[in-house]
Amino acid sequence: MAKSEVRHTLPVHGSSVLPSVTVDSYNLEIEDKNGFIGDRASKSAFARILEDVRKKLRETGSDPFGDTPSEELRQKKLQAALSEGDPDQAALVQSAIEGFSGELATVIKRYLRLKTWRDTEGIVVGGGFSGGRAGEIAISRAEILLRADGIAIDLRPIRNDPDEAGLIGAAHLLPPWMLEGHKALLAVDIGGSNIRCGVVALNLDKAKDLSKAKVVDMKLWRHANEDGLKRDDAVGELISMLKALIKEHADLAPVIGVGCPGVIEADGSIDRGAQNLPGNWESGKFNLPACLSEAIPKIDGHETLIVMHNDAVVQGLSEIPRMQKLKSWGVLTIGTGLGNARFTNRSQED
């Protein structure tokens, strides 16, 4: 979703103008005759491609992975197959990687034709899939395929651990003056399968650009494993995790940065794109920042400020210190779906 550039002196939910970048677009939902193109480069898409290869093998012989469902072959299992498994397993995974890389390259080419993605110089790829060896190979292979088609673009896995990048990026939602004098802040990363809450140590004494920021504590709840889960149950669990972190840590900034799927409006409501979350998060009667403010009105004696943006945007923000040589760049997050955002670095004069 493209946003008009409006300047704000204080953080605003879903803002297009952030301290270091302009958010040119995010949460793009492009369809073709087969549906949303982002669905062709998600974790479930890789599982489908892997299953297709295995099905063909089973029709003519044996499957190196036996009866294990493809969606249950986790990153560690795939990495072991590539590095130390038998040749048949490694070859099977490589075949799936090749198919997925082609889909990822196709999706990227489609994005690059859009006005808001034109002239993108680099793309970081995050999400859980990017953290494993299969994901790393798929990203590198997609870059090779793009360059073979004459598209010279820098494609790289996100630098921080994908589980932590969505928390670290929350610090970049705030102007530098709001972080001065604080050692850490609370961050939330809401995904289609998990909710993470963490304490991000800012380490401003080591690097003013937040390049040394790191997660020093994290709590994770996998809501995808809960049957019949309601939205209020999920919000309650989120609040419990945050309160536990507040109790365990001192010197926290009175701020909670939140990354959440969907199009985030200035009032903190979610317009669309949160369909993978438990319950209806897009209801006009629901406002997550308001719920958090009511449950946690103060941190360390000061009124709590909640700042929320799209989860792919926040994960991409963690890369700001390493993308300064580029003018425009993007992020893709390979998870339950394919998150996306495109940024333009702001000059000091902006």
Instruction: Indicate if 171 and 311 belong to the same structural domain.
Output: yes
Do 188 and 47 reside in the same domain of the chain? no
Whether residue 236 is contained in a domain is answered as: yes
Q: List C-alpha distances in Å: 294 to 17, 236, 270.
A: 27, 12, 18
C-alpha closest to that of 172 among 323, 46, 325: 323
Is residue 329 in a domain?
A: no
Is residue 168 located within the same domain as residue 152? no
- Residue 84 falls within a domain, yes or no? yes
Contacts of 125 (CB under 8 A, 6+ apart): 135, 139, 155, 156, 157, 158, 331, 332, 333, 334
pLDDT by residue, tens only, the chain of 350 residues: 444 444 445 799 999 999 999 999 999 988 888 788 888 999 889 999 999 999 999 998 889 998 888 888 887 888 888 888 789 999 999 999 999 999 999 999 999 999 999 999 999 999 988 888 899 999 999 999 999 999 999 999 999 999 999 999 999 999 999 999 899 999 999 998 899 999 999 999 999 999 999 999 999 999 988 888 999 999 999 999 999 999 999 889 999 999 999 999 999 999 998 998 999 999 989 999 999 999 999 998 999 999 999 999 999 999 999 999 999 999 999 988 899 999 999 975 45
Residues 125 and 61 in one domain: yes
At residue 210, the 3 state secondary structure works out as coil
Residues 239 and 297 in one domain: yes
| β-pair type (154-157, 122-126) | parallel
Element spanning 36, H or E: strand 35-36
Do 201 and 75 lie in one domain? The reply is: no
CATH of the domain at 248: 3.30.420.40
Helix ranges (DSSP H) in the chain: 43-60, 75-83, 87-112, 133-148, 162-168, 176-179, 231-248, 288-295, 311-317
Is residue 96 one of the residues assigned to a domain?
A: yes
- Specify whether 122 is located in the same domain as 189: no
User: Is 269 within a domain?
Assistant: yes
Kindly state whether residues 63 and 100 are assigned to the same domain: yes
Q: Based on the structure, what is the number of domains in the chain?
A: 2
Q: 222: domain range?
A: 164-318
Give yes or no: residues 120 and 224 share one domain: no
Domain contains 209: yes
DSSP code at position 322: G
Give the whole-angstrom CA distance, residue 262 versus residue 68: 33
231 and 282 assigned to the same domain? yes
Residues 62 and 137 reside in one and the same domain: yes
pTM of the model: 0.92
Residue 7 is assigned to a structural domain of this protein: no
Distance, in Å, from the CA atom of 53 to the CA atom of 224, rounded to the nearest integer, reads 27
If asked whether residues 135 and 185 sit together in one domain, one would say: no
Residue at 66 is within a domain: yes
Q: How many residues does the chain have?
A: 350
